[in-house]
Amino acid sequence: MQKVLYVDDEKNNLVTLQIALRKWFDVLTLENPEQAIDILSREDIKVIITDQRMPQITGLELAKQIKEKLPNVIIIILTAYGDNETMLEAINQGGIFRYLLKPWDIKDMKQTLVNAFETHELRRKNIHLVNDLITQNRKLQLAYDEIALLKQNLEEENIQLRDEFIEQSLSTKIIGQSKALRGVLRQLEQVARTNTSILLLGETGTGKELFARTAHTLSQRKDNIMVTINCATIPESLIESELFGHEKGAFTGAAKLKYGKFEVAHLGTLFLDEIGELPLLMQPKLLRVLQENEFERLGGNKTIKADFRLIAATNRNLLTEVEKGNFRSDLYYRLNILPIQIPPLREHKEDIPELAEFFLANFNRKTGKTISLIPKKSLDKLMEYHWPGNIRELENIIERAHVLSPGNKLEFGDWFLQHNNSNPNTSQILTLEEMEKQHIITTLKITRWKIRGENGAAELLQINPSTLESRMKKLGIERPV
């Protein structure tokens, strides 16, 4: 039964109402109104009936105290007088469910109590509904704020990537008119218009990224973004997050949602440089994305569609890596549909003068220095060198000479002779790793074995210092005592 508390200073009234309503309600009675709030606080009582005129406190005064401390309790006031002022005060005070005159009618009293309990339940549900709405509104607001922040971050990232793309597109172009280079460009123009993956093969420093950007510019995706990631410079523990992205809380340190390169490259081009360095465990995951054009972020279960054109590049012989078990054969054959071999600089040396002029003009523009002439003897030195580091090495040599030349002529000092003499005979055929080792050692000698910082070997080679140290360890390169 529902509990009702009846407060009245006359005991006969208490007994009469208790007996009359005991079939339908559990009526608790109280003669002292000052104890009402204590009982209401301890018992599960939703409705209180109080007499108006009591010696200690009036019903309205009691009602006011109850509303302040227990606002959900339903209050009914009884009086034996037709006191209009009291009724008006009750109405103005508010919070009084009903005002009944004595003597009360049992049917009227029963129905009043039934209505009171229904009202209490409706109020309870309404409070819960309001609280739920407030909670949901807060959640929606938090979600909206997070979406707005993510949208802002994505827009900023896209702007940054587009600016980078535009800057690189304006500042770089393929230089040279040699037969070898023109042949590669013709082949690139043919395959760029397709949507098939492209595999660029070539030694370190041959300009594979530049050829990738050219392929993107010639493709139907040229108006969209090209995203670049170097598989050799990203730690194995982070490369999956870089490619696939991750949800907030996906792992320790994942403080917010991160969009992966697959997602950012949607409708554009994704360039995976040094794909031969891609960890073996990541290779089947990349293959799945290429075959199905969909993936999930780390820590997420939502399938995301990704429409991008893949261009991959490597200085390794991937077929040899397949035979060694370092590269999956299925991924190799998926990538090797349109392979393009970029020639090393020693096979198109006739382009060196034009390349040298281009790099010189770039350094003049960046530094404000004016070197307008490359003497024939300087060009002869460049033409005689066999360039194991290819075009990147040529750019670094021109930059060094640009810094050290005192006048308006590009000059090479004794440092270039040492650089040149440290290299093997041009007729000797070296493996890619041997050439890479020679090039790193040569660069380290130029920088006096300084790896990090300004004009260090890592900066000249345009790689991360940690990556250079890792390659040195792998190739067995140690500083001489």
CATH number at residue 8: 3.40.50.2300
| CA neighbours closer than 13 Å in the CB half-sphere of residue 250 | 19
- Interhelix angle 432-446/390-404, rounded to 10 degrees, is 10
In a domain, 161, yes or no: no
N residues, the chain: 481
% of the chain residues with pLDDT over 90: 34
1-15 pLDDT tens trace:
888 999 998 888 889
Q: Is the pLDDT of residue 158 over 80?
A: no
114 and 185 in a common domain: no
| Cα–Cα distance measured from residue 434 to residue 425, given in angstroms and rounded to the nearest whole number | 13
Name the pLDDT band for 79 (thresholds 50, 70, 90): confident
Name the pLDDT band for 60 (thresholds 50, 70, 90): confident
Name the pLDDT band for 114 (thresholds 50, 70, 90): very high
**Across all residues in the chain, what is the average pLDDT?**
85
Of 59, 259, 57, nearest in space to 153 by CA: 259
358 and 274 in a common domain: no
Q: Is the pLDDT of residue 424 over 70?
A: no
Cα–Cα distance list, 233 to 183, 226, 259, 472 (Å): 31, 18, 19, 14
Q: Is the pLDDT of residue 85 over 80?
A: no
In a domain, 140, yes or no: no
* pLDDT computed for residue 81 by the predictor: 65
> Which tokens is 338 given?
């349109």
Query: Of 323, 341, 359, which marks where a domain is finished?
Result: 341
In a domain, 157, yes or no: no
Over range 93-98, report the average pLDDT. Answer: 75
Report the number of distinct structural domains present in the chain: 3
In this structure, are residues 280 and 332 in contact, taking their beta carbons and an 8 Å threshold? Answer: no
In this structure, are residues 328 and 215 in contact, taking their beta carbons and an 8 Å threshold? Answer: no
Over range 386-395, report the average pLDDT. Answer: 90
Q: What residues pair up with 311 in beta bridges, in sequence order? A: 198, 271
391 and 303 in a common domain: no
Q: Is 466 helix (H, G, I), strand (E, B) or coil?
A: helix
In this structure, are residues 58 and 77 in contact, taking their beta carbons and an 8 Å threshold? Answer: no
Structural domain boundaries enclosing 79: 2-122
In a domain, 454, yes or no: yes
* pLDDT computed for residue 227 by the predictor: 93
* pLDDT computed for residue 160 by the predictor: 56
384 and 435 in a common domain: yes
CATH code of the domain containing 236: 3.40.50.300
291-338 pLDDT tens trace:
999 999 988 888 999 999 999 999 999 999 999 999 999 999 999 998
Specify the residue for token string 């060094």. Answer: 400
% of the chain residues with pLDDT over 70: 89
Name the pLDDT band for 89 (thresholds 50, 70, 90): low
374 and 315 in a common domain: no
* pLDDT computed for residue 425 by the predictor: 44
Of 360, 362, 341, nearest in space to 352 by CA: 360
177 and 117 in a common domain: no
Query: Of 122, 151, 181, which marks where a domain is finished?
Result: 122
Over range 60-88, report the average pLDDT. Answer: 80
* pLDDT computed for residue 2 by the predictor: 87
306 and 373 in a common domain: no
* pLDDT computed for residue 82 by the predictor: 61
Question: What's 425's DSSP letter?
Answer: P
Which of 253-262, 408-417, 423-432 shows the highest mean pLDDT? 253-262
274 and 374 in a common domain: no
* pLDDT computed for residue 169 by the predictor: 47
Over range 36-50, report the average pLDDT. Answer: 89
* pLDDT computed for residue 96 by the predictor: 83
> Which tokens is 361 given?
């003009």
Q: Regarding predicted confidence, which is higher, 164 or 433? A: 433
- pTM over 0.75, yes/no: no
Of 34, 35, 44, 42, nearest in space to 4 by CA: 44
CA dihedral 448, 454, 459, 465 (to 10 degrees): 80
201-258 pLDDT tens trace:
999 889 999 999 999 999 999 999 999 999 988 888 889 899 999 888 878 777 788 8
| Cα–Cα distance measured from residue 306 to residue 263, given in angstroms and rounded to the nearest whole number | 6
Q: Is 76 helix (H, G, I), strand (E, B) or coil?
A: strand
